[in-house]
Amino acid sequence: MKKIVYIIISLILINLFKSNAQNFEEQPIIYVGGYIGYLANFHDADFNKLKDYPSCCPQFTNGSGSGVSLGILFDYPLVNGWGIGARLGYATLNGELIKEQKIGNTEIRKTDGFNNGDIADAISKYSIKSNIQIIAIEPNVNYTLIENLILSSGLRLGIMNNSTFDQSEKLISPNNVVFSSTGTKARNEYTNREIPNKNTMQFHLFLGASYSFPIFKNASILPELRYYYGLNNLSEVNWSVNSLQIGASLKVPIYKPEKVNEIKDIKYIRDTTINEIAGINDIEIKMIDSKEVEKVSYPDSKTELTTTYIYETYQKNIPRNINESASLKITGLNRDGTRQIDPSIIIEEVETEESFPILPYVFFKEGDANLRNTSMKLLSKNEISDFEPNKLTWETMDIYSNLLNIVAYRLVNSKSNITLTGTNNNLDKEKSIPNLSKNRAEEVRDYLVSVWGIEPNRINIQMRNLPTKPANNDISDGREENQRVEISSNDYNIIAPLDLKDIVRTANPPIIEITPDLWSELGIDKWNIVVKQKNKIIREFSGLGNGDKNIWDVEDEPIPSLEEPIMVKLNYWDKKGKDLEIVKELNISQLTIKKKRFELKDDKKIERFSLILFDFDKSDLTDAQKKLLNDVKSKIKPNSKVIISGYADRTGEELYNRELAAKRNAEVQKVLKILDKQVEIQNIGSSELLYDNNSPEGRSYCRTVKVIIETPIK
């Protein structure tokens, strides 16, 4: 190994000393030489046996082997580093395909007898070892990427002059068995057989790379790497060979005969322009153009004089002061629509509470009773100990996806019972499947029992075709909603709304515009803005050029949490990489609930309720819904402001849905018994869809009335 390293280092040093001299030498008209290489062969197969040769192999897939490649070459250089060439040589594509498989004991017996009843499965090794030799011609195109590094590509056309194989199947485990048919550990053995139905012509595409090391004036040695990709099979079965060749070639250039009495001369003609340039620190002199013109003359009949005129243009740059300007504009957009330059930001805490309704339906896909194909989030036994409904996110669809976990959690903490009613759309595919409704209900029951440990006797199973209150079965949306399991209980608390409480932090102004105004005669390359409070980064913006308006939504996390000034720092770089900085400071005030009440300032509590989910095309309230509204009514104070908003799903015309929403709002207001001066009614209908109406749960949650109560706290 050390000798190889020394040889490589020596070749590199020889190349470095000779490369400059070679630039001025005449280019050869052709290269001739030879090559030799080691082949790593990769056999790709997809067959179980060769024609007329029995084999029990399930399928040969791949194999490997090694070989050699050698021959003669020539390369013809073209222009701009391109060249063409060809090789004529010999290559071996040997390889072995191996497959191991367990075989049944009907094919084997013990070596000490014919009783095979207690023999475990044996392992048999199948192999095909090939001996393939080709005579090949390789036309190619080559390109010198950088000095001495040559890339090549082409086609190898090979003719097989040997194509034999050895085949065998041998038992390799256990040691005490033999094949029943042969009495030995081997069968289906063939040696030095000709590959049947072989493709005599073999075609390969190849890619290669080599590096030229001059070893003396008229020769180079080139370590090289080539990959050959097989384009056709070795025989009528799917069996091809790819090869990786590692080797070296020797090239000897052949030059044109040298001219007698050839004289060369070089003359330089230079011109310099002086410019004042902003943004440089020192005087710079650089060449901006150069061209060569050759003129040939003949002083006498035996002498050729070539004069090269080199015309060079230079530019001398002298430093000049840079003209530039920069500013940072910060504007607050207040909630009342006014704008404020360099604003002071007030962060205020508001206590809020929201109730989310429980939609007691599990929707199934058409013709399906698999709970895993629904939108329900299913937990494992190890995960239920960490589940708490109060820790769910304030997202209706996330809460709905945990419907079964919420119901199970409440059942675990009570002695109540539930009823699961399976339904179907009673049409076509669903109607023809036996016990589809029952299977759906049992699937939900099995999850509650197996994962959450609910006693089976607490779960009553019922089934029917259409639900008691079906959706419109004449449209696809309605049919999809009728494919469900309904959850009901004798205990209102099992499917009662989920109440979540939090403290929401608001800001005024809620929006801050940060605009860098930058100019430099050199041009602005990039800029970066960092908004920090103490050592914590609140926001960061960046861009290219002179700067754009950047929007800071103060109420998005992270929100400033201290009564410490906000530092806004702008860094920008001109095209020469010069770094400049501007810093501004904004004041922050924190109005916490504790502080507001201690200082006797105004405060309010916001409570949101999405308690009412109506059936399809209905506005009447059930007794359970009236009970919910009575709970809401108890939270309304004489100084409260109440907003009632009615919604509908996408089914039906928009005008009809607005009227339906108005009816739903009226029913809710009637139960709440609130004065007109306290209430704001919003009949929205389907003009605003709260949730994705492409899902049955999204449409169901859109049939709702939302109630918001804002109550000042003293």
DSSP string, 83-131: EEEEEEEEEE--EEEEEEEEE-GGGEEETT-S--TTPPPEEEEEEEEEE
Please name the helix (run of DSSP H) or strand (run of DSSP E) that holds residue 659, with its range, or none: helix 654-672
More confident residue, 658 or 502: 658
C-alpha angle 301/305/309, rounded to 5°?
Answer: 155
More confident residue, 609 or 58: 58
The reported pLDDT for the residue numbered 66 is: 95
More confident residue, 638 or 235: 235
More confident residue, 131 or 304: 131
Query: Which CATH number applies to 2-55+63-97+129-165+198-254?
Result: 2.40.160.20
DSSP string, 552-616: EETTSSSPP-SSSPEEEEEEEEETT--EEEEEEEE-EEEE-HHHHHHTT--EEEEEEEEEEEPPT
The reported pLDDT for the residue numbered 462 is: 95
Please name the helix (run of DSSP H) or strand (run of DSSP E) that holds residue 702, with its range, or none: helix 696-702
Is there a shared CATH topology between the 324-350+504-595 domain and the 358-494 domain?
no
b vs e for 610-622, b when ≥16 Cβ sit within 10 Å of the residue's Cβ?
bbbbbebbebebe
User: For residues 235 and 198, is the Cβ–Cβ distance under 8 A?
Assistant: yes
Take residue 500 and report the two structure tokens written for it. 């979540």
The reported pLDDT for the residue numbered 616 is: 80
Alpha helices in 365-427 (DSSP H): 396-401, 403-412
Q: In whole angstroms, what separates CA 385 from the centre of its chain? A: 33
The DSSP 8-state label assigned to residue 381 in this structure reads T
Task: State the CATH class of domain 324-350+504-595.
Answer: mainly beta
User: Quick one: 293 exposed, middle or buried, by C-beta within 10 A (0-12, 13-18, 19+)?
Assistant: exposed
The reported pLDDT for the residue numbered 119 is: 60
pLDDT band at 380 (very low <50, low <70, confident <90, very high): very high
User: Is the pLDDT confidence value at 114 over 70?
Assistant: no
Handedness of CA 688, 693, 696, 698 (dihedral sign): negative
Name the CATH architecture for the domain at 358-494.
2-Layer Sandwich (3.30)
pLDDT band at 597 (very low <50, low <70, confident <90, very high): very low
The reported pLDDT for the residue numbered 603 is: 61
Helix axes 623-633, 654-672, angle to 10 degrees: 60
The reported pLDDT for the residue numbered 611 is: 60
User: For residues 181 and 127, is the Cβ–Cβ distance under 8 A?
Assistant: no
Region of poorest pLDDT, from 38-42, 117-121, 185-189, 450-454: 117-121
The reported pLDDT for the residue numbered 703 is: 86
More confident residue, 626 or 405: 405
Task: State the CATH class of domain 603-713.
Answer: alpha beta
614-638: average pLDDT:
81
Distance CA 510, CA 334 (A): 7
Handedness of CA 560, 561, 563, 564 (dihedral sign): negative
User: For residues 369 and 362, is the Cβ–Cβ distance under 8 A?
Assistant: no
Q: Which residues pair with 137 in a beta bridge?
A: 88, 157
Amino acid making up residue 272: T
User: Is the pLDDT confidence value at 596 over 70?
Assistant: no
The reported pLDDT for the residue numbered 8 is: 43
Phi, psi (deg, nearest 5) at residue 611: -85, -25
Tell me which range, 132-136, 397-401, 570-574, 685-689, is most confidently predicted by mean pLDDT: 132-136
110-121: average pLDDT:
61
Q: Which residues pair with 245 in a beta bridge?
A: 39, 226
How far are the Cα atoms of 126, 130, 211, 361, 589 from residue 163, in angstroms, in the given order? 19, 7, 34, 70, 88
User: For residues 487 and 420, is the Cβ–Cβ distance under 8 A?
Assistant: yes
Torsion angle in degrees (nearest 10) through CA of 398, 402, 403, 408: -160
The reported pLDDT for the residue numbered 252 is: 92
Handedness of CA 131, 137, 139, 145 (dihedral sign): positive
226-233: average pLDDT:
95
Residues 6+ apart with CB under 8 A from 451: 378, 379, 380, 381, 384, 408
More confident residue, 18 or 666: 666
The DSSP 8-state label assigned to residue 492 in this structure reads G
User: Is the pLDDT confidence value at 57 over 70?
Assistant: yes
Take residue 613 and report the two structure tokens written for it. 């989910």
Region of poorest pLDDT, from 10-24, 72-86, 103-117: 10-24
User: Is the pLDDT confidence value at 145 over 50?
Assistant: yes
Amino acid making up residue 3: K
Region of poorest pLDDT, from 169-178, 200-209, 432-441: 169-178
The reported pLDDT for the residue numbered 21 is: 40
Please name the helix (run of DSSP H) or strand (run of DSSP E) that holds residue 8, with its range, or none: helix 2-23
% of the chain exceeding 70 in pLDDT = 89
Task: Give the SS3 label for residue 251.
Answer: strand
Region of poorest pLDDT, from 14-18, 134-138, 486-490, 515-519: 14-18
Take residue 404 and report the two structure tokens written for it. 């079964």
User: Quick one: 442 exposed, middle or buried, by C-beta within 10 A (0-12, 13-18, 19+)?
Assistant: buried
Residue in this structure with the two tokens 């207001």, named with its chain if needed:
669
User: Is the pLDDT confidence value at 3 over 90?
Assistant: no
User: For residues 584 and 328, is the Cβ–Cβ distance under 8 A?
Assistant: yes
Q: Which of 489, 458, 258 is nearest to 360 (CA)?
A: 489
Distance CA 318, CA 281 (A): 8
Amino acid making up residue 644: I
Distance CA 567, CA 593 (A): 26
- In sequence order, what E strands does 255-344 have? 262-278, 284-300, 303-320, 324-333, 339-341
Distance CA 379, CA 377 (A): 7
Task: Give the SS3 label for residue 420.
Answer: strand
Distance CA 28, CA 258 (A): 11
The reply to whether omega before 638 is within 30° of 0 (cis) is no
The reported pLDDT for the residue numbered 407 is: 94
pTM of the model: 0.43
207-230: average pLDDT:
92
Q: Which of 483, 482, 395, 479 is nearest to 691 (CA)?
A: 395
501-518: average pLDDT:
79
Q: Which of 217, 255, 210, 307 is nearest to 22 (CA)?
A: 217
Region of poorest pLDDT, from 107-116, 140-149, 245-254, 690-699: 107-116
Any idea where the domains of the chain sit in the sequence?
2-55+63-97+129-165+198-254, 262-320, 324-350+504-595, 358-494, 603-713
Please name the helix (run of DSSP H) or strand (run of DSSP E) that holds residue 696, with its range, or none: helix 696-702
Take residue 468 and report the two structure tokens written for it. 């008691």
Summarised one tens digit per residue, pLDDT across range 579-593 is 778 888 877 766 554
Mean pLDDT, the chain, as a whole number?
Answer: 84
User: For residues 586 and 345, is the Cβ–Cβ distance under 8 A?
Assistant: yes
The reported pLDDT for the residue numbered 483 is: 92
Q: Which residues pair with 268 in a beta bridge?
A: 310
User: For residues 122 and 80, is the Cβ–Cβ distance under 8 A?
Assistant: no
User: For residues 409 and 453, is the Cβ–Cβ distance under 8 A?
Assistant: no
The reported pLDDT for the residue numbered 113 is: 59
